[in-house]
Amino acid sequence: MQAIGRQPQQAPDGAPVHYERHRPEQTKLYRLVQQHAATFFAETEAAAGANLPQFVKDEFGVAYSNAEITSGLWAVAVPVWQSGKVVLALSVACPAFRIGRRARVKVEKDTRATATRISALRSTLSA
């Protein structure tokens, strides 16, 4: 049985195409960003004497999928934090053709807000 949303892929010559998930978490760049993003933000803001725009910080806390992995699927994922570390991610997905630009913005905003509430709850439970 084939997984829902998966299309058999073939190269132009008819050979099967193999997909393997990218593993950014295994790269040095990913680890460096994870380890030093907060310090980078703080030092940059201190040197500039002003806060970085929120949209710059937000880009470090969201991931999107727009049919890159599963044909026709749009998704957004945001981290849930505990003790300064990402402990899980909250993700919402739907058929790409059913969600317009405004709805995507609202879903992302609501998903971020929910992840923030879960993070706060986890922090109070672990204290």
> How far is Cα 44 from Cα 26, in angstroms, rounded to an integer?
26
Residue 91 three-state SS = strand
pLDDT at 27: 79
Q: Assign residue 14 a region: left if phi > 0, alpha if psi is -120 to 50, beta otherwise?
A: left
Instruction: Give the architecture (CATH level 2) of 62-127.
Output: 2-Layer Sandwich (3.30)
Given pLDDT bands bounded at 50, 70 and 90, which one contains residue 104? very high
Helix (H, G, I), strand (E, B) or coil at 20: coil
Q: What is the pLDDT of residue 1?
A: 41
> What pLDDT sits at residue 117?
92
Which of 30-34, 55-59, 67-71 has the lowest average pLDDT?
Answer: 55-59
Q: Where in the chain is the domain with CATH 3.30.450.40?
A: 62-127
pTM of the model: 0.58
Identify the weakest region by mean pLDDT among 3-12, 49-58, 77-86, 90-99: 3-12
Residue 82 CA to residue 90 CA, distance in Å, equals: 14
Q: How far apart are CA 66 and CA 75, in angstroms?
A: 7
Asked if 74 and 96 touch (Cβ cutoff 8 Å), the reply is yes
